[in-house]
Amino acid sequence: MAKRIDHAARRQFIVERSMGLFAGMGYAKVSFLTISEATGVARTALYRYFKTKREIFDEAIHGCTHAIKVASAAIARQPLPVPERLNRVADTVIDTLFERKQFLLAIYAFVIDMVRRGEDMRARIAQFTGGLRELFLRLLEEGARRKELSVRVDPRLTSEVLFALLESVVLRILLGVELDAEKAKLRFSAMVRSIAENATCPEKGA
């Protein structure tokens, strides 16, 4: 009897192995043949799971960003002060960015190439990153209600500022000037500390 194939596991294997190829070679240099040779899955069989190389790339990006969203959402639900949760979310994101640095470079090269070809990438980027911006907003609104943040804090504006700070970490990693995750975390925590200054004590039962 032929061994039954776990198609879900094989699909995940293809994505994970391809992510390593994209990270090491860059998106443009990876082909279906490259992926086939690296995974041991025939090109004809690859088409059963993905129609194009871009589908694989998109799923690899989604897998990375989804893992961040799941971890961040779990942190956001913890019974901790809002400033601490904000810092823990940032720590998770920054650690992931440094762990996936090479893949981040592949994503950047891909986006730049698509923009040069005239493709509007704003919607796709928002699709992969929007959840984090909204999570910051929800936490900041909670912090304002609980009076854990300064009364001067505008949750929506501040969520944009915190998100932009993480975007700057991405850029600094890509430029090779951000070499230490801990320094990036300290900058973020300093920003969180500034918006928590002069906050009143949280109300009991809040």
Structure-token pair, residue 82 = 């809002």
Measured between alpha carbons, how far is 183 from 88 in angstroms, rounded to an integer? 14
Cα angle value 26/29/30 (rounded, 5°): 90
Measured between alpha carbons, how far is 146 from 42 in angstroms, rounded to an integer? 57
Of 124 and 180, the one with more pLDDT: 180
- Match 């989604």 to its residue by tokens: 62
Q: Over pLDDT 90: what percentage of the chain?
A: 59
- Reported as a single tens digit per residue, the pLDDT across 14-60 is 998 998 898 888 888 999 999 999 999 999 999 999 999 989 988 88
Classified as helix, coil or strand, 176 is: coil
Provide the pLDDT for residue 75. 96
pTM higher than 0.85 for the full model?
A: no
**Average pLDDT of the chain to the nearest whole number:** 88
Provide the pLDDT for residue 2. 53
